[in-house]
Structure 1
Amino acid sequence: MSSMRNATQRRSHRERAQPADREKWGLLEKHKDYSLRARDYNEKKKRLQILRQKATERNPDEFHYGMLSSKSKQGRKLADRGNPVLIQEAVKLLKTQDSGYLRTMLQKTRRALEKREQEFILHEGQGAELLGSSSNSDQGQHVLFVGSREEQKQRLRGKGIAIPKDVNQGLKDYTEIDGLDPADVSLASSTITKSKSRRALEREELAKKEENVLRKKHKKEQEARRSKLTALKAREKDLMDAENELELQRAKMSNSVGGVTKAGLKWKVRERKK
């Protein structure tokens, strides 16, 4: 019987959610949430009671020799970690090695930066060619305005071009020739648009969509290259600052330059009078 009772589908009891008008106050608190918070509060309360009891029972005359060598800063004890103190020559040698490492990384960063800059400039030029590919047909045209149709015909005859009898025929071949009337050019372009087939228009639309996709892709890639360049320049600056700081520390250790003490007093190296 128990197996049959467990096999039947039972109603799922879901927890009550926060009402819609009280959603701004967060999730609805359940009894288990209160239990967890109360348990944590009581544990902390017991811990504080134990610490207060230890503080009240402390012997004021307590002494051990570690109190003489220990230091404290703003109520916080500063203890020695037991690290051996290096001599000044060893520290200078380590700083020299650090400076060599920084110099190597700086050269590597500069080579990477130079390479990225060349790539950015190269792709920037390719993007200009891509963006200008659709307007290449409009480049190199020179429209010359004339006063009358007779003057237009004379100019065309002077260049050895036959004048078509019908305006709608032949003008589409002269759109890039100096001396055409703008009205004739617009008329010829409208005639060409009307004469295009449906398939040709679909091809043009597809070409425009592909060009837009390529333009967006190129723009996204250039943004990534620009961010990489910015990161490399920031890394180069940080490495240069670190190298300069190390050089300054080494110079101070060898007493070749002056500086400022922790108390804010300036000092300089006294040179021998000549």
Structure 2
Amino acid sequence: MSSLKNAVPKRPYKERAQPNSRKKFGLLEKHKDYVERAKAYHKKEDTLRKLKEKAAFKNPDEFYFKMIKTRTVDGVHRPESQVNKYTAEQLMLMKTQDAGYILQKVQSEKRKIEKLTATLHSLDNQPSNKHIYFAEDREEANEIQSRSSKGRSVASSEAVPDSIKRKTISSYKELEARRSRVSELEKLYMDMTLQQELMKKGRKRKLREDELTNPTSKSVYKWRAERKR
């Protein structure tokens, strides 16, 4: 009976639509729409209740330092700028540590480049095997020469596997990428070293273009000579 019951086609369920007399009010609200609207309403109600409790139990004498270190912008508290959060000595120490880390990465990349270059050089310059044959007469010399030429042609006909070619090409690409990375890190290290020197004490000024003997796009500074005790 159950199989026959499932075989009989059922009428599809259709929800009631908005009557024609009430179409001006929009779509007819279904139960799932009511559930979402009720959840949103109760959530707002709970938020208002918690805020009222906080306002009722608030201590009028309480004080926080953020009350004087923040300002209200469009009703929202925003903290003051933290530009002068660190002292000059702390900034100097942080820049020194950053420069040391960059220098360490430069040295590490250079070691990897040397190792990779040596590997590729050994692959490209493989030693050629040379043999010296001694013949008693010209006929034997011609025969030995013909055999050696055939051997060279067979060896040259053997192609290098595609996997080795792909690995070699990827190694050359990696070498170029590491070299470009080293150049970028060296530029960054020089800039950080310059900023570190500019933070030190001493009178200095930036040279104008007409004062430079060798014009360059980078900024050049000159320190005033001081007598050391």
Task: Bin the TM-score by the shorter chain.
Answer: 0.3 to 0.5
Q: TM-score, normalised by structure 1?
A: 0.27
Q: TM-score, normalised by structure 2?
A: 0.32
